[in-house]
Amino acid sequence: MVMATSVLLGACTQAGQPKEMEKAEPQETLIGRSDLKIADGRLTPEALWAFGRIGGASVSPDGGKVLYSVAYYSVPENKSNRELFVMNADGSDNRQITRTPVSENNAVWIQGGSKIAFLSSEGGSSQIWEMNPDGTGRRQLSDYDGNIEGFSFSPDEKRVLFIAQVKTVPSTQDKYPDLDKATGRIVTDLMYKHWDEWVTSAPHPFIADFDGEKVGRPLDIMQGEPYESPMKPFGGIEQLAWNASSDQIAYTSRKKVGKDYALSTNSDIYLYDIHTKETTNMTEGMMGYDTNPQYSPDGKSIAWLSMERDGYESDQNRLMVMNLETGEKRFVSRDFDSSVNEFCWGPDSNTLYFTGVWHGEIQIYAADANACTIRPITQGVNDYAGVSLLGDKLLAMRHSMSAADELYSVSPSTGEATQLTFENKYLYDQLEMGRVEERWMKTTDGKEMLVWVIYPPHFDPAKKYPTLLYCEGGPQSPVSQFWSYRWNFQIMAAHDYIIVAPNRRGLPGFGKEWNEEISGDYGGQCMKDYLTAIDEFAKEPFVDKEHLGCVGASFGGFSVYWLAGHHEGRFKAFIAHDGIFNMEMQYLETEEMWFANWDMGGAYWEKQNATAQRTFANSPHRFVDKWDTPILCIHGEKDYRILANQGMAAFNAAILRGIPAELLIYPDENHWVLQPQNGVLWQRTFFEWLDKWLK
């Protein structure tokens, strides 16, 4: 892939950069939109990495403009950069306002829309900066001794709330200063690792005065506490909020450490009073995850997302509202039998707009906070992500299995959606996508299951095609209309494979009962659902039944390993990425023990625990004697959710059994593959393996 050495975005224009910006690392290549040419109209790994990836959007106070970011990737340089754009609310006059060798993040409007605040590491550490809406007048606002990870100005803009790490675990050098080159870690409790890092610090919320020129001296509002806010590994500024009068902060925290933290999902929403410095637990007694507080515009209510049960991280995410005067709490989304993803308040302080999955699509809904009623707004074969107010409309990102994120305005009354950005049009104009089809199949227990089918471009029903069964991860993540830069169905279809992607048991969007049937039953009905999907679709005359493959990651990787011992000759090739191979080892190796206890039913040494014993009896490693099919195992060594030894063990078992196998191991990737060249390597290895055994 050829990357432009400067950012050239068609009709986008920008006023001249100030002199101080021209001096910022001028020799470094600026990463911008690729000029990739696609020869035959088929999606390739290089084309995937050429896509600009639209990030969070911010609407100006008057509702007239939209600020958003786009990340660009360079495969040759193996890195990325994020730039900022501003456009009118109707999508017109779209302008790129930054062209720098450092990424701009967390960009928001301030000072009535006359300035833009953002995060930049231009000076070395990540700090808060501001600039004019045309990109000029760029200057640093904060000078914090460390990296700022997210921020939010108070409504009156006299203060700023920001996130920064504080040290919570002493280092070896703290105990033995003379061993300044020692690399060993002394561990005394659980949660010493999380996701892809060794836990030595926790994010804390800080507040500081702002006089319009500089951010003042910060105060850690959780000073002396070893807890985290927002919560790792994915929480950000959305887990904290200002009230309308700028004198109170709501923040999310799970005030637990060590073993207690590892065993519980019980987080709460805390209210911090700026003047008295007192903290109140707003959700005390609510035992599951409580996250993402938002005050109503009139300041009388607060909304948040809440799960009911402690230890169950895939419990229904409920939209809750509390009256701040009376303390009354209402389950606003009770009529929506699925989880709420994101939400925002309407200007009337009663309507809430949210996204949620139903029947394999993520749509936008409106909830009445007083009546607790739900009204669907959008429809279509697509997913919406993020929702905010845009004047008398809504702003959201939309994607599908055939298109990456773009920004849309949506009428809250009619659901009519208007595309505002066309970031990747130059790529779509060169590509032909395969047809996506919805099918419903009857399962072995007589229920109806939604299965997505993706066909190759130029599909010819007179031909026979090798076909892939896709196994979803999570385990409770929806097979909705998602667009992925790794598990991308259109790139699989472009290699002339048909993809069968079932919403098997244990996925949200089909009611609470369907979603919960997987916990404690990994080798049960969900596996029967997989086999139903591939068996039913293989009856089609254009399916090459002698060349079926099975692929998946995370729980999907577990599914591949399990099916390898139970498929009875159906498949001719397997690919498992970051999958669980040995359930007993997984129970002790993973870091979030609440997940293992809930989904596995308990520990393997609990001999009287029937659920746990069923789980461990179904561990894929117990059925290696039945493995007979070539398998590719992929894993990242920085994956602390499912350790890399799981993939290595599966590969070793296959080799020892005399089964053709390959191992793609990444020493510097976590549960995902995030670096451009590693991503291209992943795709090339994936298709070389499938082509070898299925064509």
Domains of the chain, CATH where assigned: 432-694 (3.40.50.1820)
CA 473 to chain CA mean position, Å: 13
In this structure, are residues 690 and 468 in contact, taking their beta carbons and an 8 Å threshold? yes
As a whole number of angstroms, the distance between CA 395 and CA 90 comes to: 11
Given the residues 196, 383, 578, 639, select the one marked as catalytic.
639
Q: Tokens for 304?
A: 């948040």
Could you give the angle at the alpha carbon of 203 between the alpha carbons of 199 and 208, nearest 5°? 155
Mean pLDDT within 483-503: 98
How many whole angstroms separate alpha carbon 653 and alpha carbon 623?
11
Q: Per-residue pLDDT averaged across 372-383, rounded?
A: 98
Mean pLDDT on 259-288: 98
C-alpha dihedral (687, 688, 694, 695), degrees to nearest 10: 110
* 11, pLDDT greater than 50: no
Beta-sheet pairing, 393-400 with 240-242: unpaired
Q: So what's the pLDDT on residue 32?
A: 87
Radius of gyration of the chain (CA): 25
- Residue 469 · residue 479 · CB < 8 Å: no
pLDDT at 5: 28
What percentage of the chain reaches a pLDDT higher than 70? 96
CA triple 575-581-582, angle to 5 deg: 175
Give the integer Cα–Cα distance in Å for 569 and 580: 22
pLDDT higher than 70, residue 12: no
Q: At what angle do helices 525-537 and 555-564 cross, to 10 degrees?
A: 70
Question: Can you name the residues that pair with 104 across neighbouring β-strands?
Answer: 120
Instruction: Give the pLDDT band (50/70/90) at residue 259.
Output: very high
Q: Among this protein's residues, is 62 annotated catalytic?
A: no
Residue 56's closest CA among 47, 67, 65?
Answer: 67
Nearest to 2 by CA among 54, 51, 70, 75: 75
349 is catalytic: no
Which tokens go with 86? 């501003």
Assign 3-state DSSP to the chain and report helix, strand, coil percentages, each to 5.
20, 35, 50
Q: Is the pLDDT score of 208 beyond 80?
A: yes
Give the per-residue pLDDT at 28: 61
Question: Would you state the pLDDT for residue 649?
Answer: 98
SS3 state of residue 577: strand
Q: What would the DSSP string read from start to end of 388-420?
A: EEETTEEEEEEEETTEEEEEEEE-TTT--EEE-
Provide the token pair at 162.
């920001």
Catalytic: which of 126, 154, 333, 554? 554
d(CA 678, CA 676): 5
| Local confidence band at 529 (pLDDT 50, 70, 90 cut-offs) | very high
85 SS3 class: strand
pLDDT at 9 over 60: no
Give the separation between CA 110 and CA 159, rounded to whole angstroms: 12
Specify the pLDDT at position 88.
Answer: 98
Average pLDDT in the chain: 95
Residue-wise pLDDT for 103-152, tens only, equals: 999 999 999 999 999 999 998 999 999 999 999 999 999 999 999 999 99
Active site residue 554: yes
Q: How far apart are CA 684 and CA 647, in angstroms?
A: 19
The DSSP symbol for 123 reads T
Cα separation values, 130 from 6, 48, 121, 141, 230, Å: 23, 32, 13, 7, 24
Distances (CA, A) of 16 to 30, 131, 138: 16, 13, 12
Residue 320 is which amino acid? Answer: M
Lookup: tokens for 693: 């055994």
The alpha helices in 15-152, defined as continuous H runs, are 19-22, 45-50
Query: CA 395 to CA 378: how far, in whole Å?
Result: 12
pLDDT digits (tens, 9 = 90+) for 13-42: 233 333 333 333 434 678 988 889 998 999
Structure token digits, residue 141: 């606002």
pLDDT reported for residue 30: 82
Average of per-residue pLDDT across 483-501: 98
Alpha-carbon gap, residue 571 to 632, rounded angstroms: 13
285: region left, alpha or beta (phi > 0 left; psi from -120 to 50 alpha): left
pLDDT in tens, 407-441: 999 999 999 999 999 999 999 999 999 999 999 99
Bridge partners (DSSP) listed for residue 115 = 110
pLDDT in tens, 343-367: 999 999 999 999 999 999 999 999 9
pLDDT of residue 1: 31
User: Cα separation of 59 and 391, whole Å?
Assistant: 9
- Helices 593-600 & 610-617 angle (0-180, nearest 10): 90
- Determine contact, residues 490/402, Cβ cutoff 8 Å: yes
pLDDT at residue 682 tops 80 = yes
Mean pLDDT for the stretch of residues 366-385: 98
Task: Give the number of C-alpha atoms closer than 13 A to the C-alpha of residue 630, restricted to the C-beta side.
Answer: 15
Instruction: Classify each residue of 210-220 as buried b or exposed e, where b means 16 or more C-beta atoms within 10 Å of its C-beta.
Output: beeeebeebee
